[in-house]
Amino acid sequence: MGFNRRSLMVFAATACVTVLLPFAPAQIEGPQRSHVVVRVQGDHPITTNDLHLNVEGKTLPVTSVRPLVEDHVPVELVVALDDGLRNFGNNLDSIKRFVASLPPNVSIAVGYMRNGRVMLNGGFHSSRDAAEHEIRLPMGSAGAAGSPYFCISDISKHWPSNKRAVRFVLMVTNGIDPYNGRPTPMNQDSPYVDTATTDAQRGGVTVYSIFWSSRAGGGFGYGGFSGESYLSDLSESTGGELLSAGTMNPPSIDSYLDRFNKALQRSYFVTFDAPTRGKNLSSLKVTTNARGVKLHAPREFHAGN
């Protein structure tokens, strides 16, 4: 009798599994609507017919191409200043003028990189006055940011908005990774830079950077070259740009801020359908047949972003 009862229980459990399994939630399969920002270097405006997308070695059609500024595509920009910056006070007015000059479709948050995070006093502002109010002199403490690459990873994974908008970070830092050992000619690779790049690409964040050296942080010599190299790799891999050149601080960063504004004017919101790869990133190559035009885009992206 006991054997029959156990057999009946096993049969019932098996029947339940058989009935319930088909109703388990299925994983999303097939192409997912995806977006990337493509920057044009040149005066030729681009259309869907000008672009060629290669994703994971396969050519994909372009659905739409929209100029960010002309089409008023929503943009969110985090201006991230290293809280360890020194001798930076003369540039505060430059940043305020820059904030005031941004197109109306850009919402702005001002934050300070400290202890591996981007500390924001508030969220994104469409009001230029509100954003300017959050600009202050950095603390100037050596190493205050921790690692700027920890900061990029953090802001990319915890973006301070749920709005569907194009995401940019403009950061000012010496770019040195204090957790990767002493900068030397033989130590120019950092896993934390790679991680920050991956996190930004997965979060759909385009990173622009301005190098600002600091003697206390080793901003000259190998340290300066290392920091600038890291910033260049991170920026270019996400479709952005290292806006500065050389390891000596200029009298003003006005020209760098102006370059960012022009880059924004020449950036396009490109839409296409790409096969999903779960949490994995997909390789991307964007080309054009238009003469005199060079394109900049992230090297990898997350399908469905």
Closest CA to 119 of 86, 82, 89, 87: 82
Torsion region of 221: left, alpha or beta (phi above 0 gives left; psi -120 to 50 gives alpha): left
Identify the residue with better confidence: 54 or 177.
54
pLDDT (tens digit, 9 = 90+) per residue, 243-298? 987 778 899 999 999 999 999 999 999 999 999 999 999 999 999 988 889 999 99
Residues 6+ apart with CB under 8 A from 26: none
Q: How confident is the model at residue 214 (pLDDT cuts 50, 70, 90)?
A: confident
Torsion 198-168-252-122 (CA) sign? negative
What is the pTM (predicted TM-score) of this model?
Answer: 0.87
CATH superfamily of this structure's domain 75-252: von Willebrand factor, type A domain (3.40.50.410)
Between the two ends of the chain, the Cα-to-Cα distance in Å is 59
The domain segmentation of the chain, as residue ranges, is 33-68+267-301, 75-252
| Lowest mean per-residue pLDDT among 111-120, 160-169, 245-254 | 245-254
Q: How confident is the model at residue 192 (pLDDT cuts 50, 70, 90)?
A: very high
Residue 15 reports pLDDT greater than 70: no
Query: What is each CA distance from 282 to 126, 159, 301, in whole angstroms?
Result: 33, 21, 5
